[in-house]
Amino acid sequence: MTGNAKVAIVTGGGQGLGQGIAIALSKAGYRVAVLGRTLSKLEATASLCEGECLPVVCDLIVPDSVRGAFAKVAEAFGQLDVLVNNAASYAAFPFDEAQDSQIVDVVNQSLIAPMFCTREAIGQMKKAGGGDIVNISTQSVLTPQPLMIVYGAAKGGLETLARGLRNEYRGQNIRVLNVQIGVVTNTALDVPDEESARRYGEALANAGMEKTFVFPGSKPADIAASIVHAVTAPRDTIIEEIVLRGF
């Protein structure tokens, strides 16, 4: 791996889809930094990557922590070409029973954190002459699920952010991609107990949506392959939206 290889940051890179994206980017020749709160998980991802992979502990909802993490990546790799905003909160709860902390956490993790990361990324990308920002979104933007409407609303805000960024930075070689996914294999709904999971299933059925979210869903490697395709496309090719459904 040469020092001139492109650099990607993946948030929530310690497990699941984030891990799959980090591995795929490393196979495509990128130097990768994975950001998250648990060092052992980030190190596990790094051990699976083919090239350089830098684990960086970061609390994505704390601005100074984000600034420090991006500075560490810049010091290690000297540039930034791709940011993948993958980390999010998938908590499910009845809206009228929601605790203040639940609402704030979902919005912080799924919308505010990507804003903090994107702000840092754009500053580095402008200096480098361009780059790619990839937002992992959800089909819940189009078909909001009961018990997950805060999550869907936050991701809807993330998609709006992407459209605004395209307008604000038009002509500066910064591409912004939304990847809208449904169910991801081997991921679990964030509910505290079996009773909550049962209530979620009943709420889907009551809304006539029990067949909307197809299982077993998309494999992380397949989603990651689509992202690699988009960020490695010629710079005059603008891919703004990818919609993936697992069958």
Number of domains in the chain: 1
How do residues 105-149 score in pLDDT, each as one tens digit?
999 999 999 999 999 999 999 999 999 999 999 988 988 889 989
Q: Which residue, 72, 13, 70, 65, is CA-closest to 44?
A: 13
Other CB atoms within 10 Å distance of the CB of residue 228: 18
Other CB atoms within 10 Å distance of the CB of residue 31: 25
Question: Could you tell me the residue range of the domain that residue 26 belongs to?
Answer: 7-243
Q: What is the CATH number of the domain that holds 58?
A: 3.40.50.720
**Calpha distance 220→205 (Å, rounded):** 27
- Alpha helices (H) in 129-239, listed in sequence order: 149-168, 194-206, 220-231
Average pLDDT of span 219-243: 95
Residue at 2 is within a domain: no
Query: Does position 171 have pLDDT exceeding 50, yes or no?
Result: yes
- CA distance to 95, 147, 173, per residue, from 73 (Å): 38, 37, 21
**Calpha distance 245→229 (Å, rounded):** 17
Residue at 118 is within a domain: yes
pTM (2 decimals)? 0.92
Give φ, ψ of 10 to 5 degrees: -120, 120
The gap from C-alpha 60 to its chain's centroid, in whole angstroms, comes to: 12
Q: Give 137's Cβ-side CA count (13 Å radius).
A: 30
Question: Is the N-terminal amide bond of 216 cis, ω within 30° of 0?
Answer: yes
Residue at 158 is within a domain: yes
How do residues 55-109 score in pLDDT, each as one tens digit?
999 999 999 999 999 999 999 999 999 999 999 998 889 999 999 999 999 999 9
Query: Does position 209 have pLDDT exceeding 90, yes or no?
Result: no
What pLDDT band is residue 188 in, cutting at 50, 70 and 90? Answer: low
